[in-house]
Structure 1
Amino acid sequence: MALTQLQISNVRNLQQVRLQGLKGVNVFFGCNGSGKTSVLESIHLLGMARSFRGSSVKSLINHESPSCTVFGTTVLDLPPPVADEGAAGVGVGTPVGVQRNRSGEAQIKIGGRAVRTVAELAEQLPLQVITAESFGLLTGAPGARRQYLDWGVFHVEHQFFGQWQRFQRSIKQRNNLLRRGKISDQELTAWTRDLAQTGTAISEYRKGYFQILAPCFKEIMARLAPSLGALELRYQQGWDRQLSYSEALAQGFTADTEQGYTHSGPQRADIRVMSGGHLAAETLSRGQQKLVVCGLKLAQGRLMAQLGRGKCTYLIDDLPSELDNAHSLLVCELLASMDAQVFVTCIDQREIRSVWPESEELAMFHVEQGVVRRHSEE
């Protein structure tokens, strides 16, 4: 999927923004604090009903407005570069809209139809985000890495989300029973059985995806940073791999009842990036870490396309930060080879023009004090 147009209302300092004729590569440049990142946040709001900054909804909404709204039009493929009324794809698209108010309520519409789950949005506009917060994939808690892994599984395995929902419900009920003190054996057995079934399914989906992700990541990193040849991805399922999940739950039952929660399971899973047998977060420089983060994100986009699940859209905030021109060029070449739609920010437009392949047409937008204008070199 790709965006052909975007309307933003009251997202931070972007009061009214209308962007049409979006291209494969869209560059937003301007001074710090001008609103460049807010454009990327708006697109993320359209695809995930929330900001990627993890801040509250209230801070996302312009302080003079009770709500913020983003509308967009998605298409399977972008229209050809030259506008032609007879060209395939022109004028064909699906309208998508998301509104958030200060109470946290979300209204979501796809094709004029109200939808209830963010999962439908994610399917409509798959997003990959590369920002300063993305370093958490290496340095942060396991939860961020599980989310990264599950993004890929969600987009390639249609049954995953249903199993994930069942698992979340089962572990919540089981933990509630464990915390009560007086446990109904029959009820606990039922929830434990369902937990074991769904947890096993989730883990198998993750393992299957990881087996194709790891070599794809290694191939991409060989292009981005061949000097980091000792990089390796490792998957930890969340319990002793010598045991089935049912066996692990039975073995941990005493500890679970004593402490009031389920210790083992896919909720404890993790993936680690290793460099020469050590955690990459502990051995690599900041610039090398950014290359690894880019490699992880690019690998997922490539896999999604290779598996026939469509193309994702990349939101990249301040690409030149932490990277020299040579490595920025390599990242851009990989993105261009994937034919993915990209929204990227920078301070000076030349920072992107100098590293993006010349064959690619760039849509340039200047952002200043919350106002976004299409920029031409003339």
Structure 2
Amino acid sequence: MTLETLQIQSLRCIQNLQLSTHARWNWLIGANGAGKSTVLEALHILGTGQTWRHGPRHVLREGDAEYLLSARMSDHFLALRRRGEVREIRYDGESVHSAWELLDILPLQSLHDDNSHFVAGTADDRRRIMDWGIYYVDPYYGTVFREYRRALAQRNAWLKKPQGKSPWDSALAMAGEGIQQRRQDYLTRIEPYLQKLWTSWSGATEILSLHLQSGWKEGLALQESLQRDLGQDREMGYTHSGPHRANLVFRVRQRMALDILSRGQLRILGLAYRIAQLLLLREAGFALPTLLIDDFAAELDESARNWWVEQLNVLNVQVFAAVTAAGQIPAGVQGSHFYLAQGQLEKEIVI
């Protein structure tokens, strides 16, 4: 769903900002501290209910009691207000009770400092980004994922005061095996797209592959692994085995990508994976999300920036991207240029 307007009140350095957004490219231009990342973060909060940086108490503009974010999308209106620990979300005048609902109201794909290098980052980052894609192409994944998280929380609570046999192992194992199978199916589907994109960028026919480490001992069913680890789990007070410990591994020429690619190449590989997710979404007939890109030009030379823009133009997706100077924007890209300074809009140019 395409955003048409965005309003931000009392978020970080922004007191009151209103933007009439472009259907394709929205460039946020300004020096560090101008408010570019705050605009992207506002959209992220609207689409997930959560900030991508620190907790709610650090988001509020100094001296203000609450922040308010709102966006209009065609005939729909989404607003989120937060005052202390109290959050109110309304969509077309109706209350939204769960942040899970926001994932379908305003689908987003966010690329920011914490995850732009996810190929070389943490297993947590890679799982989150993988699960984001599965959620939108597998209608049952969200249900299975929530069942697993609920059973995991209950088992971990039981482990702190264990009595008798764990009553949660069967439910945890069933949901966990379901997550593993759905993840594996997803990677099988996305790998050809990633291979094609990597070849288009590198110009070489290097074989690229994705490998999923399940998060429990290879060769064992999850329930067997839970039983094997029960003593250790009781001692530590939490569950060691399961898809919450899974890891996505990228390989090039049968070697770990981390071992043979430069930092810039790893970032391109991560971008190619994100684009592959969008291509798979489009093939499955789903609406594409709005893209949020912080520090668009970071570690990318001109040819890499042009390649990235070319791929996104083919997808015809709405993008919000932050740059420190207009010269970092590839030539010929149509869209809106929003020049920001100290949390305020200085000027807007539509190209």
Structure 2 length-normalised TM: 0.93
1:238 — aligned with what? 215
Structure 1 residue corresponding to 2:78, chosen from 93, 96, 110: 96
Residue 195 of structure 2 contacts residue 207 of structure 2 at CA under 8 Å; is this kept in 1?
A: no
SS in 2 for 1:213: helix
Whole-Å Cα distance in 2 between the matches of residues 268 and 228 of structure 1?
Answer: 32
Whole-Å Cα distance in 1 between the matches of residues 174 and 198 of structure 2?
Answer: 36
Offset at 1:343?
0.6
Alignment of 1:139-218 (within 5 A): 139-181=120-162, 183-185=163-165, 188=166, 190-218=167-195
2:203 — aligned with what? 226
Alignment of 1:34-183 (within 5 A): 34-52=34-52, 54-74=53-73, 92-101=74-83, 103-181=84-162, 183=163
Whole-Å Cα distance in 1 between the matches of residues 10 and 267 of structure 2?
Answer: 31
The alpha-carbon distance between structure 1 residues 255 and 59, as it changes in their structure 2 partners (threshold 3 A), is: closer
Offset at 1:171?
1.6
1:5 — aligned with what? 5
2:14 — aligned with what? 14
Whole-Å Cα distance in 2 between the matches of residues 51 and 253 of structure 1?
Answer: 35
Residue 24 of structure 2 contacts residue 318 of structure 2 at CA under 8 Å; is this kept in 1?
A: yes
2:349 — aligned with what? 376
Which deviates further from its counterpart, 323-332 or 297-306? 297-306
SS in 1 for 2:178: helix
Q: One-letter code of the match for 1:46?
A: L
Residue 224 of structure 1 contacts residue 330 of structure 1 at CA under 8 Å; is this kept in 2?
A: yes
**Cα displacement string for residues 244-287 of structure 1 (whole angstroms, at most 9, x for unaligned residues):** 22233333334434444322111111101223444333442222
Q: One-letter code of the match for 1:123?
A: D
Alignment of 1:248-267 (within 5 A): 248-267=225-244
Whole-Å Cα distance in 2 between the matches of residues 126 and 214 of structure 1?
Answer: 22
SS in 1 for 2:8: strand
Which deviates further from its counterpart, 255-264 or 328-337? 255-264
2:315 — aligned with what? 338
Whole-Å Cα distance in 2 between the matches of residues 260 and 227 of structure 1?
Answer: 49
Residue 287 of structure 1 contacts residue 323 of structure 1 at CA under 8 Å; is this kept in 2?
A: yes
1:84 — aligned with what? none
Residue 22 of structure 2 contacts residue 335 of structure 2 at CA under 8 Å; is this kept in 1?
A: no
The alpha-carbon distance between structure 1 residues 184 and 156, as it changes in their structure 2 partners (threshold 3 A), is: same
Whole-Å Cα distance in 2 between the matches of residues 371 and 260 of structure 1?
Answer: 49
**Cα displacement string for residues 215-268 of structure 1 (whole angstroms, at most 9, x for unaligned residues):** 222222222233582433211111234332223333333443444432211111
Q: How many residues align?
A: 351
Q: One-letter code of the match for 2:60?
A: I
1:361 — aligned with what? 334
1:89 — aligned with what? none
The alpha-carbon distance between structure 1 residues 257 and 345, as it changes in their structure 2 partners (threshold 3 A), is: closer
Whole-Å Cα distance in 2 between the matches of residues 23 and 16 of structure 1?
Answer: 22
Offset at 1:7?
0.7
SS in 1 for 2:115: helix
Whole-Å Cα distance in 1 between the matches of residues 324 and 234 of structure 2?
Answer: 55
Which runs of structure 1 show a deviation greater than 6 angstroms over 4 or more consecutive aligned residues? none
Offset at 1:95?
0.5
Whole-Å Cα distance in 1 between the matches of residues 115 and 236 of structure 2?
Answer: 33
Whole-Å Cα distance in 2 between the matches of residues 311 and 170 of structure 1?
Answer: 31
Whole-Å Cα distance in 1 between the matches of residues 178 and 350 of structure 2?
Answer: 54
Whole-Å Cα distance in 2 between the matches of residues 97 and 142 of structure 1?
Answer: 33
The alpha-carbon distance between structure 1 residues 263 and 319, as it changes in their structure 2 partners (threshold 3 A), is: same
Which deviates further from its counterpart, 264-273 or 234-243? 234-243
Whole-Å Cα distance in 2 between the matches of residues 374 and 2 of structure 1?
Answer: 22
Identity %: 27
SS in 2 for 1:134: coil
Unaligned runs of 5+ in 1: 75-91
The alpha-carbon distance between structure 1 residues 258 and 17, as it changes in their structure 2 partners (threshold 3 A), is: closer
Offset at 1:140?
2.6
Tell whether 2:279 aligns with 1:280: no
